[in-house]
């Protein structure tokens, strides 16, 4: 059966998740995580893509991306290929490093952006890697919670500046605010998904790629 094509539409946010082959570790050390961040930094220079949140775990990673005019598929392919080359060379392995291609979920309504950021930032805490999400070094949580600049992160406007920090901290305390409504390969309702599909198919034949 042919693999389902990825939704890859300009000017939308996407929640991206990728896992190691057979759920094996992708990152054995902080040096691996640093290398991954360095690759992201390089790719941001050549792709019209912005990162709004990230968490680099043990056997997977999360990214909240905004796709401009560059292809999301090409960006993720470059990211996976470059990191896989690093991984195989460092650990003397061969073959696939990732479990299939990264999953990407288009965000159909910007009201879900805060929920996606919270979901990503809470990931290390829920996995038991730290006692508090803000302690984790390899996520963008500190960029938002402590109002510091992260080189690869563009902050969501509502959470930017001193006032934004307070809004972010309050939002992180709200119960259930990390829940994500999912439909197919999207974050949003079935109604919003079908509206997008109808509009994009009417506009051109490259709805997915």
- pLDDT tens column, 11-68: 999 999 999 988 899 999 999 999 999 999 999 999 999 999 999 999 999 999 999 9
For 150-207, the pLDDT digits (tens) are 889 999 999 999 999 999 999 999 988 888 999 999 999 999 999 998 888 766 655 4
**CA 40 to each of CA 80, 115, 153, 169: distance values in angstroms, whole numbers, following the listed order:** 10, 23, 10, 27
> d(Cα 164, Cα 161) in Å, to the nearest integer?
5
Q: How confident is the model at residue 149 (pLDDT cuts 50, 70, 90)?
A: confident
Instruction: Report how far residue 180's alpha carbon sits from residue 176's, in angstroms, rounded to the nearest whole number.
Output: 9
For residues 47 and 77, is the Cβ–Cβ distance under 8 A?
no
């Amino acid at each position: 059966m042919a693999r389902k094509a990825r939704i890859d539409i300009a000017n939308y946010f996407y929640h991206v998740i990728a896992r190691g082959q057979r759920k094996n570790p992708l990152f054995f050390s902080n040096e691996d995580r640093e290398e991954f961040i360095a690759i992201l930094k390089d790719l941001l220079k050549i792709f019209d893509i912005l990162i709004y949140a990230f968490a680099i775990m043990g056997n997977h990673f999360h990214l909240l991306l905004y796709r401009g005019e560059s292809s999301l598929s090409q960006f993720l392919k470059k990211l996976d290929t470059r990191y896989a080359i690093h991984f195989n060379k460092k650990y003397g392995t061969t073959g696939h490093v990732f479990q299939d291609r990264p999953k990407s979920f288009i965000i159909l309504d910007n009201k879900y952006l805060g929920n996606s950021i919270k979901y990503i930032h809470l990931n290390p805490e829920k996995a038991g890697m730290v006692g508090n999400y803000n302690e984790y070094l390899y996520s963008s949580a500190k960029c938002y919670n402590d109002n510091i600049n992260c080189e690869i992160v563009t902050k969501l406007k509502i959470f930017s500046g001193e006032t934004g920090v307070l809004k972010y901290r309050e939002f992180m305390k709200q119960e259930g605010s990390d829940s994500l409504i999912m439909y197919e390969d999207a974050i949003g309702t079935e109604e919003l998904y079908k509206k997008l599909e109808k509009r994009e198919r009417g506009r051109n034949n490259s709805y997915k790629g």
